[in-house]
Chains A and B, each alone.
Chain A
Amino acid sequence: MYPKDLKYDKEHEWVKVDGDVAIIGISDFAQDQLGEVVYVDLPSVGDEVAAGESFGEIESVKSVSELFSPLTGEIVEVNDALGDAPETVNEDAYGDGWMLKIKMADAAEVDELMSAEEYEAFIAEEA
């Protein structure tokens, strides 16, 4: 449920690093807590995001949550497919349900994120 090749933050986003680009989405735990996603509000390519700051919103039937960026950088790609098919976040949180690709400003920020084991322990503690 928590792929080992990803990093995680306390707001339940995941990060996959590919060179100087990071792919960002929300964890399986987060999508399950939200329930069926009906809207994902994402920023645009070229926008800057900062670690710990809100970059968008995700909404289910019952609730709305802010999305927080785990890293600082410039958005190079946005998953526009979520506009028409927001439920992809539920169905494939780590794959087609990705949200942003950013060009990292400071790759060292990745080291501060949690490993899959650490994230699993963090969730167990929160629950």
Chain B
Amino acid sequence: MTEELLRTPLYQEHLALDARIVPFAGWEMPVQYAGIIEEHKAVRSAVGIFDVCHMAEFRFFGFDAFDALQSIVTNDLHKIDELGSALYTVMCDEDGGIIDDLIVYHTGDLEYLIIANAANRQTDWDWITSHLPEGVEAVDESDRTGLIAVQGPRALEVIASLAGEGFVPPARFHIAEARLENIPVLLARTGYTGEDGVEIVCHVDHAVAVWRLLLSFAEVTPCGLGARDTLRLEMGYPLYGSDMDRGVDPVSAGLGWVVPKAKTGYIGADAVARVRDAGPARKLVGLQVSEGVPRHEYPVLHEGTEVGKVAGGTYSPTLGHGIATAYVPAELSAPGTELRIAIRRKEVAATVVRPPFVKQTSLSAPSS
């Protein structure tokens, strides 16, 4: 691909912070600043901020918007009837193949905001708009939308001091308008790290100002895609293109919980129901390894035979050892099953576990 790489409005900020820049999903993005482990630990213990302006934002409006989107996504949009609530979901093709994973926000009367993966922007847009009836207004707002994730046990403190007196944060999986030092934003209480926090949706022209406001706090650490990946893997949050793609259905991908059994009539419903009835042949599982770092595409073995490949793998900075996800035959997917991963010249023990790999975060209930 010789296509020119895109830059977010924060590109110059990253250079000024001495970030290491890598190509990602068609964008030039920071993979790390001070170091992945340091950034990872900052998010688990204080606050980290992430430039996620590359992600796609679509808005939908109209009396028929609800029904149209309800027939496209697998999860039940009635769960977000309440204005300001949000829902994680996937959307599938007729064969049940996952086109993308999304968060749908009920942002206004008859109005929805969808945030989708950067790499799927065009695919998603084409798919959704080709299934919209006339009369539902759709706008691709990605180029005009800035998105900055603020994540960590102290994230809300930082937001509260910027939002001023009387600020009440939106509840978990809710979105609300706010002003950060007079900059109008939407605060979404969502994230991809397993920590409490928000994702700030703002006009692209305000992204630099918001970024700098956040960095003016000593407890805030800029974090790159490297830490974003280790944080999401520790929580077992799937990544499109690695843990799922068009070739896999949500039930096999461990996302049955975003496909309510009672819901029918959405695209792919029949195919998903068939997988559910028959039981998936292969399932995405978590693997905890004894040594080394499992990485994408490394073979997963059972009694000397290859039974799958690593989907996502990394070193877990919190646990201090390797973790991975992989598709394995359903009969080998029960927690406790002993498998092996070929890490180049070595074969290491890998135990099937139920994610999250890291149980205690600022989002989980306090330990007793």
User: B-contacting residues of A (Cβ < 8 Å)?
Assistant: 35-36, 38-39, 57, 59-62, 64
Contact = CB atoms under 8 A, between A and B. Distances in A.
Given A59-B293, A62-B226, A38 B315 contact: yes
Given A61-B315, A62-B31, A62-B36, 15 more contacts: A35-B35, A35-B226, A36-B35, A36-B36, A38-B37, A38-B315, A39-B291, A57-B344, A59-B292, A59-B293, A60-B36, A61-B37, A61-B317, A62-B32, A62-B226
Contacts of B226: 35, 61-62
B107 interface: no
Interface residues of B, number: 16
Nearest to B40: A61
Q: Is the interface of B mostly helix, strand, loop or mixed?
A: mixed
B292 A35 contact: no
B211 to A, nearest CB: 23
Main secondary structure of the interface of A (DSSP, over half): strand
Contact of B36 (A35, A57, A59, A64): A35
A123 B38 CA distance: 26
Nearest to A62: B226
A64 B344 CA distance: 10
A39 B317 contact: no
Given A61-B230, A62-B226, A38 B293 contact: yes
B49 to A, nearest CB: 19
B27 to A, nearest CB: 17
23 contacts: A35-B35, A35-B36, A36-B35, A36-B37, A36-B38, A38-B37, A38-B293, A39-B291, A39-B292, A39-B315, A57-B344, A59-B292, A61-B226, A61-B230, A61-B293, A61-B314, A61-B317, A62-B31, A62-B32, A62-B36, A62-B226, A64-B293, A64-B295
